[in-house]
Amino acid sequence: MILTEEQKKILNGEYGNGKAMAMQVLVGMAKCFDAPRLVPISRVHISMSAQEGDTWFATKLWRAGAVCAVTPTVNPGYSLDYFKGKISDEAVDNMQRTREAYEGLGARMTYCCTPYLADNVPQYHEIISFSETNATIYANAVQGAYTNRESSASALCAAVTGYAPEYGMLLEENRYATVAVDVRAKLRGDFDYSVLGLLGKKIGGGVPVFYGLPEKISTEALIGLGTVLNVSSNYDTFHIPGVTAEMVREHNKYGERVQREVVITQDDLDAALEAFSPAEEKEISYGVFGCPHYTYDQVAELLRLFDGKPSRVPVYVLTSGRVVLQARKNGVEERLRALGVDLIPDTCVDEYYCWGHLADRFGVSDSLKGYYYMQVSGLRMAVRDTATCVRALQEGVVR
């Protein structure tokens, strides 16, 4: 592997220990994945988590004097404002230590897992380093940026040094579709695209290109598809003719190296949802939305679906600080609150400190990924499309 003079200086500690440590990680990764060199990156998103391991590493780099060469955006932890008085002192201290380390490193504390919609929007074929699997696949597939599926640690190292190892998705040859997925089912709403994402085992490894989908697909549906593809399996990117960036710009070029074909039927979709979240009639005691973070349109749609009839149980909607501010300005936040629906900024579903009190209780969500992570904390949920969730919340029973 060839390092530039500048990269050697970083590795040898001429810019301090912190940068040298970050460079060691990148060089180790480059060797492992046979990357010939490290290339400059112009954007970074870090799946910061406020979990112990992640905070430990960020603190270690910060204490060693590292400062980010490329200002990263970061994932949510939990909002100390919203959870004030509701979480332990230990939890407050933990979030503060995470914030202190990342701020010290020079991160932009956006606390949002959909940075590609605002704040940190990649350009076509821009070389970037994004961790957070929903962000990585959206940036690669929908926006046509070049990023590997980084870990929070490797993305932080990229931010500190300004470089990433050149392998995988950073090489054009690896971005061609390898498996054609013929969808012989009618996808009616955004939720159906999430269910399609559950079929990772059937689709198999590689880069999928989806045929048989509508010409216009919503941003939220595309977020859902990419997100759940990385719940059921692991994918770096996907293609949809006329929709995703590389196929829009280069027509069918990225679909010309397909090696096998998979057919997905309505029965496959129904069976996948039934296996993940079986149909049942059951009382519920909460609802959770916003994994990944809800967009403004999803927040507004939720208000429309409630149609003035309040929820019988508490409803938590996770979104960005930016969306909460807009909703506040427009009166949407107030109207939702009157229905029993809280908009919560800066917070992730995967935070035991915030959601552990719901353990063993039954709720509803429209997020397959959210449930996948919350069940680790002991929560039990039915996962349904948003309209079904809203009806369940209004009746106190999911059907």
Positions in the binding site for other proteins (CB under 8 A)? 24-25, 28-29, 31-33, 47-49, 51-54, 56-57, 75, 131-133, 136, 148-155, 157, 168, 230, 234, 350, 376
The encoded tokens of residue 357 equal 């009190």
> Which residues lie below 8 Å from residue 186, measured CB to CB, with a gap of 6+?
266
Cis peptide upstream of residue 292 (ω within 30 degrees of 0): yes
Q: Do the beta carbons of residue 179 and residue 206 sit within 8 Å?
A: yes
Residue closer to other proteins by CB (options 206, 314) is 206
Kindly state the smallest distance separating residue 263's Cβ from other proteins, in Å: 27
Look-up of token digits 């940026």: 145
Bridge partners of 282?
A: 398
Q: For residue 90, give the amino acid letter.
A: E
Residue closer to other proteins by CB (options 148, 295) is 148
CA separation, residue 56 to residues 52, 63, 98, 106 (Å): 6, 10, 9, 16
Kindly state the smallest distance separating residue 233's Cβ from other proteins, in Å: 10
Residue closer to other proteins by CB (options 141, 390) is 141
Look-up of token digits 């955004």: 190
The encoded tokens of residue 41 equal 């990156």
Residue closer to other proteins by CB (options 33, 124) is 33
Phi/psi of residue 129, each to 5°? -130, 100
Residue closer to other proteins by CB (options 99, 384) is 99
Look-up of token digits 């640690």: 153
Kindly state the smallest distance separating residue 132's Cβ from other proteins, in Å: 6
Kindly state the smallest distance separating residue 110's Cβ from other proteins, in Å: 16
Kindly state the smallest distance separating residue 75's Cβ from other proteins, in Å: 8
Q: Give the helix ranges, DSSP H, for 162-244.
A: 190-197, 200-203, 219-232
Residues 385 and 1: their CA atoms lie apart, in Å, by 49
Q: Do the beta carbons of residue 53 and residue 323 sit within 8 Å?
A: no
Residue closer to other proteins by CB (options 49, 79) is 49
CA separation, residue 11 to residues 6, 28, 62 (Å): 9, 11, 16
Residue closer to other proteins by CB (options 85, 376) is 376
Kindly state the smallest distance separating residue 345's Cβ from other proteins, in Å: 20
DSSP string, 2-25: B--HHHHHHHTTTT-HHHHHHHHH
Residues 10 and 72: their CA atoms lie apart, in Å, by 19
Look-up of token digits 């821009």: 126
Kindly state the smallest distance separating residue 353's Cβ from other proteins, in Å: 13
Residue closer to other proteins by CB (options 142, 231) is 231
Kindly state the smallest distance separating residue 24's Cβ from other proteins, in Å: 7
Residues 49 and 33: their CA atoms lie apart, in Å, by 26
Kindly state the smallest distance separating residue 46's Cβ from other proteins, in Å: 9
Residue closer to other proteins by CB (options 346, 350) is 350
> Which residues lie below 8 Å from residue 84, measured CB to CB, with a gap of 6+?
none
